[in-house]
Amino acid sequence: MSVALRNAQGAVPLRRAPLRRAVCALRAALGASRFDVGVVCAGNGLMRRLNGAYRQRPEPTDVLSFPFHQVAAGELPRPRCRDEYNLGDIFLGVEYIHRQCRLTGEDFDGVLAVTAAHGLCHLLGYRHNTEPEWQQMYQKEMEILEELNRLTGTNLRPLTAGLF
């Protein structure tokens, strides 16, 4: 199935091909290759509006996920028809991420891939509101990032390291 990638911001130059490859590899590592996923690269304005509307936090953020299905962590959706082979949409706060990378010196493309991994996990029911949920999500992020690292020769780590 497909990864629909849209760049809805103009503030940060974006190389879409590496991000698309990373999302495809991460989706495969999750066992979800047969599902479509949408990825929108957004600026601070859009992220602020979405974060305010859906999380009551009117500030930019790095990632927001909007799942098509409600599933328990670690379960794949069970579509009943072709139109339901959709994981949902991930909004990457590209402008926000880029600023953080400039402050920390981290690799922008790598952080985009890690952030996409985090968003994909959210689409599949993983959360990090409690320590047990965080441990489960962190473990899944490690697992899929290790596969991406193996394929790309990188050394990417989950966003949620040290959350609890």
Sorted by where each starts, the structural domains of the chain and their CATH numbers stand as 3-152 (3.40.390.30)
Specify whether the CB–CB gap between 22 and 112 falls below 8 A. Answer: yes
For the beta carbon of residue 155, count every other beta carbon within 10 angstroms: 9
The pLDDT tens digits of the residues spanning 36-94 come to: 999 999 999 999 999 999 999 999 999 999 999 999 998 999 999 999 999 999 999 99
Confidence of residue 164 (pLDDT cuts 50, 70, 90): low
